[in-house]
């Protein structure tokens, strides 16, 4: 470290000399004693962002539980009252964090009438611009906000002229922006006032920024929690090979290439702005892999100090879990191998609605919207049996065994159990936890479970639920399973050794099912109705005692 450039004294480590007048050259007069004369001249000679695109704070809804939903909780297509909403979110640059909807019926009159809402910048509502998370764990990230969005208070927003939008977004996501914000605000909350004081120099970076947005959007839309998701990358023709392992290898190569190109573009963007601001002596353009905010980039996706091998294992495991999740979506008819995007996503839709859209499906969805997850294949629509069928359709029957082995390996199988047993264990013990995590505690598939012994488990898809579902679950599955287990127990004649242990185990399972049946029967007799507009928390709560706790 050195002294101030104007000082003639000998440099002393960790010692600075600065004039109070110098602080005043920086808006807000922060005590940024390390700034150079070049930095101070940038503030003196250039307009601030507030003169080009005055940053603003989003609106306070006042009752998020009542008016805010994650988009997949409700029926799709959405009713006109539901409007897209930005609400901050994870550290992610260029595009993404598009998850929420706000009930803006009658131009927001119901929200406004509560007296708890503060609607800010109403003239800019639903206009395109730039959005960022106001609270960040370290550094903030800026994203393109397309038209039609409501801005909630967890977000900061800015609305540059169309001709400047890409330049401003490009500037915001550079080391330049981070450098200035570090001296303007040394907290973890990035208010609109802080952003507004960044000095602005217009440069030509539109092509770079367009490509960066395109990469980020493609990555965001590759996951089923995006409302613009169409199909799983593993099943796209350009990556599809004869086996799942080969397909993943090809897709992983594409992801690496995309991450490297994203890094190159971001570093080029940094270089352009560093030269324009004349800060070559202060900053370098390098961007670490951990800041290339693509979900397919394990260096960004997984926090912590991990080796390359550990990162690759994590990414493979999660990609296979996403494959399994998509398969379950096809089992319920939410997705289809024969039609991109959502198929059955409107409340109360049935198998007939699916066949109207997909008359000749290559993989048929479950007819009754109840898929059992049990320790063995007691029913023809057993989830493991259906998953094997899905694999046959997507990769062929001749490679089924090889693909099952690859999936089991990715799920942590060590060869001590059969691949099918590893996959069954995953469905029994981990699938629902992963689903709840993926869907941010707003699951769309609900796990009905008899308790700790897991004697009975069945998934339903909330969008296809109707008031007859519980009665059907009871008569066609729960009581059927009880009968099958009882018959299995009766076939065991010996009362010593392993036979006795198995007989006792089956007896405990039957007892658990009988206890669960009392609760299920009572709930079934209530013919419970749900309204998807109420959201998962309200609707899920109606089945307390029957469903797995979130």
pLDDT in tens, 81-107: 999 999 999 999 999 999 999 999 999
Mean pLDDT value across residues 124-132: 94
- Do 269 and 387 lie in one domain? The reply is no
Q: What integer pLDDT is reported at residue 7 of this predicted model?
A: 42
Work out whether the CA dihedral 398, 400, 401, 402 comes out positive or negative. positive
Tokens of 43: 């503030």
Tell me how long the chain is.
550
Whole-number pLDDT of residue 22 = 47
pLDDT at 11 over 80: no
Which structure tokens are listed for 404? Answer: 């099952």
For residue 126, is pLDDT > 90?
A: yes
Residue 304 included in any domain: no
Q: Across all residues in the chain, what is the average pLDDT? A: 92
Using alpha carbons only, what angle is made at residue 390 by residues 389 and 394, rounded to the nearest 5 degrees?
Answer: 120
Whether pLDDT at 485 is above 70: yes
Q: What is the pLDDT of residue 121?
A: 87
| Residue 20 in this model has a pLDDT that exceeds 90 | no
Least confident of 28-37, 225-234, 477-486: 28-37
- Give the mean model confidence (pLDDT) for residues 341-365: 97
Q: Kindly tell me the sign of the dihedral angle through the C-alpha atoms of 437, 442, 444, 447.
A: positive
Calpha distance 84→74 (Å, rounded): 13
Answer yes or no: is pLDDT of 23 > 80.
Answer: no
- Give helix 244-277 / helix 308-332 axis angle, nearest 10°: 120
Mean pLDDT of the region 220-229: 98
Check whether the bond before 359 is cis (ω within 30° of 0): no
- The answer to whether residue 240 sits within a structural domain is yes
The model's confidence at residue 189, banded by pLDDT at 50, 70 and 90, is: low
Q: Say which residues have a Cβ less than 8 Å from residue 389's Cβ, sequence separation at least 6.
A: 363
Q: Which of 194-198, 236-240, 254-258, 440-444 is the least confident region?
A: 194-198
Q: What is the structure's pLDDT at 182?
A: 84
Q: Are the beta carbons of 474 and 482 closer than 8 angstroms?
A: no
Cα separation, 393 vs 503, in Å, equals: 38
Question: Tokens 């009159």 correspond to what residue?
Answer: 109
Is residue 397 included in any domain, yes or no? yes
CATH of the domain at 234: 3.90.220.10
> Could you tell me if 333 and 357 are in contact, meaning their C-beta atoms sit under 8 angstroms apart?
no
Check whether 24 has a pLDDT greater than 60: no
124 lies in the same domain as 209: yes
| Range in 1-5, 253-257, 352-356, 423-427 the model is least confident about | 1-5
Phi, psi of 130 (to 5 degrees): -125, 140
From CA 243, how far away is CA 398, in angstroms rounded? 10
The pLDDT tens digits for 504-514 are 999 999 999 99
What is residue 2's predicted lDDT score, i.e. its pLDDT?
38
Given 258, 291, 324, the domain boundary residue is: 291
Does 283 lie in the same domain as 247? Answer: yes
Average pLDDT over residues 359-366: 98
φ and ψ at residue 199, rounded to 5 degrees:
-70, 145
Report yes or no: 198 and 181 within 8 Å, Cβ to Cβ: yes
For residue 183, the model assigns a pLDDT of 83
Gap between the Cα atoms of 508 and 182, Å rounded? 62
Is 6's pLDDT higher than 70? Answer: no
State the pLDDT confidence band at 193, using cuts at 50, 70 and 90: confident
Pair of tokens at residue 15: 């010692």
Query: Could you tell me if residue 533 is inside a domain?
Result: yes
User: 497 falls in which pLDDT band (50, 70, 90)?
Assistant: confident
Axis crossing angle, helix 383-395 with helix 419-429, rounded to the nearest 10: 120
Q: Is the pLDDT of residue 31 over 80?
A: no
Same domain, 29 and 51: no
Q: Which of 24-33, 184-193, 200-209, 505-514 has the least mean pLDDT?
A: 24-33
Q: Write down the residue that tokens 């550094």 correspond to.
A: 139
Q: How far apart are CA 269 and CA 118, in angstroms?
A: 37
Is 144 strand, coil or helix? strand
511 and 395, same structural domain? yes
402-438 pLDDT per residue, tens: 999 999 999 999 889 999 999 999 999 999 999 999 9
pLDDT tens digit sequence for 250-309 = 999 999 999 999 999 999 999 999 999 999 999 999 999 999 999 999 999 998 789 999
Q: Are residues 23 and 93 in the same domain?
A: no
For residue 339, count CB atoms less than 10 angstroms from its CB and return exposed for 0-12, middle for 13-18, buried for 19 or more: middle
Confidence of residue 184 (pLDDT cuts 50, 70, 90): confident
Whether residue 200 is contained in a domain is answered as yes
Which distant-in-sequence residues (6+ apart) come within 8 Å of 261 by Cβ? Answer: 215
Q: What angle (nearest 5°) sits at the alpha carbon of residue 502, between those of residues 501 and 504? A: 65
Number of structural domains in the chain? 3
Query: Residue 10: what pLDDT?
Result: 53
Contact 480, 458 (CB under 8 A): no
Whether residue 423 is found in the same domain as residue 372: yes
Domain range for 115: 46-291
Shared-domain flag, residues 73 and 21: no
pLDDT by residue (tens digit) across 314-345?
999 999 999 999 999 999 999 999 999 999 99
pLDDT of 241 higher than 70 = yes
pLDDT > 70 fraction of the chain, expressed in percent and rounded: 92
Whether 149 is covered by a domain: the verdict is: yes
Predicted local distance difference test score (pLDDT) of residue 16 = 46
| 293: nearest Cα among 13, 77, 11, 90 | 90
Judge whether 191 and 158 are in contact, CB under 8 Å: no
Give the pLDDT score at 139: 78
Claim to verify: residue 407 and residue 517 sit in the same structural domain: yes
Distance CA(65)–CA(73), nearest Å, equals 13
Percent of the chain whose predicted confidence (pLDDT) is above 90: 84
Mean predicted confidence (pLDDT) in 35-58: 89
Asked if 312 and 297 touch (Cβ cutoff 8 Å), the reply is no
Q: Are residues 33 and 120 in the same domain?
A: no
Asked if the peptide bond before residue 77 counts as cis, ω within 30 degrees of 0, the response is yes
Q: For 9-18, 122-131, 180-189, 294-303, which range has the lowest pLDDT when averaged over its residues?
A: 9-18
Of the listed ranges 35-44, 157-166, 242-251, the least confidently predicted one is 35-44
Joined together, the tokens standing for residue 2 give 């050195």
Q: Judge if 100 and 17 occupy the same domain.
A: no
Q: Say if 83 falls within a structural domain.
A: yes
Crossing angle of the two packed helices 400-410 and 308-332, in degrees rounded to 10 = 120
Query: How confident is residue 13, by pLDDT bands cut at 50, 70 and 90?
Result: low
Whether 108 and 205 map to the same domain: the answer is yes
Is 90 inside a domain boundary?
yes
What average pLDDT does range 22-28 have in this prediction?
48
CB 157 within 8 A of CB 121: yes
């Amino acid at each position: 470290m050195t002294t101030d450039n104007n000082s003639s004294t000998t440099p002393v480590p960790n010692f600075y000399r600065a004039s109070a007048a110098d602080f005043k050259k920086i808006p807000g007069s922060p005590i940024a004693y390390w700034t150079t004369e070049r930095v101070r001249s940038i503030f003196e000679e250039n307009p601030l962002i507030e003169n080009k695109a005055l940053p603003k704070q989003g609106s306070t809804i006042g009752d998020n539980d009542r008016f805010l939903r994650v988009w997949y909780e409700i029926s799709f297509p959405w009713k006109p009252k539901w409007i897209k909403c930005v609400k901050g979110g994870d550290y992610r640059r260029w595009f993404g964090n598009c998850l929420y909807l706000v009930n803006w019926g009658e131009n927001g009159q119901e929200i406004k009438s509560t007296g708890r809402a503060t609607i800010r910048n109403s003239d800019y509502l639903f206009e395109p611009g730039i959005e960022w998370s106001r609270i960040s764990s370290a550094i903030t990230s800026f994203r393109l906000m397309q038209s039609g969005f409501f801005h909630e208070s967890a977000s900061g927003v800015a609305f540059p002229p169309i001709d400047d939008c890409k330049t401003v977004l490009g500037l915001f996501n550079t080391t330049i922006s981070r450098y200035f914000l570090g001296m303007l605000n040394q907290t973890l909350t990035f208010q609109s006032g802080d952003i507004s004081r960044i000095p602005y120099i217009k440069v030509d970076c539109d092509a770079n920024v367009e490509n960066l947005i395109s990469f980020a959007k493609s990555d965001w839309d590759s996951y089923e929690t995006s409302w613009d998701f169409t199909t799983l990358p593993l099943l796209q023709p350009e990556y599809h090979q004869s086996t799942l392992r080969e397909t993943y290898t090809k897709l992983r190569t594409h992801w690496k290439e995309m991450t490297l190109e994203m890094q190159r573009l971001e570093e080029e963007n940094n270089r352009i702005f560093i030269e324009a601001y004349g800060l070559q002596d202060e900053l370098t353009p390098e961007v670490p892999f951990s800041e290339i905010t693509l979900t397919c980039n394990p260096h960004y996706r997984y926090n912590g100090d991990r080796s390359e091998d550990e990162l690759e294992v994590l990414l493979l495991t999660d990609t296979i879990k996403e494959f399994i999740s998509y398969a379950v979506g096809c089992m319920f008819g939410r997705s289809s191998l024969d039609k991109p995007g959502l198929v059955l996503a409107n409340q109360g839709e049935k198998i007939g609605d699916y066949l109207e859209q997909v008359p000749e499906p290559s993989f048929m969805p479950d007819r009754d919207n109840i898929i059992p997850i049990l320790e063995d294949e007691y029913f023809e629509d057993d989830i493991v049996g259906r998953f094997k069928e899905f694999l046959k359709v997507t990769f062929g029957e001749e490679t089924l065994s090889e693909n099952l082995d690859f999936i089991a390996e990715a799920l942590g199988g060590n060869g001590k159990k059969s691949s099918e047993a590893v996959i069954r264990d995953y469905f029994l013990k981990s699938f629902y936890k992963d689903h709840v995590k993926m869907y941010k505690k707003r699951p769309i598939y609900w796990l009905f479970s008899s308790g700790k012994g897991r004697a009975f488990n069945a998934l339903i898809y909330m969008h296809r639920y109707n008031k007859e579902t519980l009665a059907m679950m009871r008569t066609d599955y729960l009581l059927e399973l009880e009968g099958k287990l009882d018959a299995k127990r009766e076939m065991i004649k010996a009362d010593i050794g392993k036979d006795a242990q198995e007989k006792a185990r089956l007896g405990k399972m039957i007892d658990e099912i009988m206890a669960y049946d009392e609760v299920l029967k009572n709930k079934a007799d209530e013919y419970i109705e749900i309204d998807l507009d109420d959201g998962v928390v309200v609707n899920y709560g109606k089945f307390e005692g029957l469903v797995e706790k979130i």
